[in-house]
Amino acid sequence: MPDSAIQDELIAEANKFNKSRNLIEALQQQAPTFVDKGLDSWSLDDNGLLLYHGKIYVAKFDEIHRKIIRQVHENPAYGHPGKWRTVELVQRDYFWPGMVSFTRDFVKGCTTCQAMKNQNHCPCIPLQPIPAEPDALPFETVSTDLIVKLPESDGFDLIAVFIDQL
């Protein structure tokens, strides 16, 4: 659940956002409005927070999104969980459109996670050019790369690359 600072900010911002404000008013008044369809998915908690399927609804406020994700992701109890674990933890209490991709992007940009991440591939070896003879003619030294057994596209299933070393 949100700390009191985030909770106050969520309530203040929800009142600025037309859709959220209209939903809150409709739920408080229990009166028919343009949002009657699907209103049963929405509710208000005791603090006045707008809930969607029992989760705190956060409208399009990227700064609050970042604060919420940072609060979960940097929580010492979880120790910088990865992308999918962070998404799972945020989804327990919150909902907003695009939350999964926003959370994944946040974690991808976490400097602590990037510094501690295991390298799961070999380090790249610097490429060395193939030297050509000083008096070589065009197409005298040619390299060929073939990439085969690709999924067929327009009747083709390979790529051939020819490089003149001149």
pLDDT tens-digit readout, 11-33: 776 666 656 666 666 666 665 55
Contacts of 126 (CB under 8 A, 6+ apart): none
- How far apart CA 25 and CA 15 sit, in angstroms, is 10
pLDDT at 36: 56
pLDDT in tens, the chain (166 residues): 567 777 778 777 666 665 666 666 666 666 555 555 567 777 888 887 888 888 988 887 788 899 999 999 999 998 889 899 999 999 999 999 999 999 999 999 999 888 887 777 777 788 887 787 888 888 888 889 999 999 999 999 999 999 988 7
User: 55-57 and 94-95 as β-strands: parallel, antiparallel, unpaired?
Assistant: parallel
Domains within the chain, CATH numbers bracketed:
4-116 (1.10.340.70), 129-166 (no CATH)
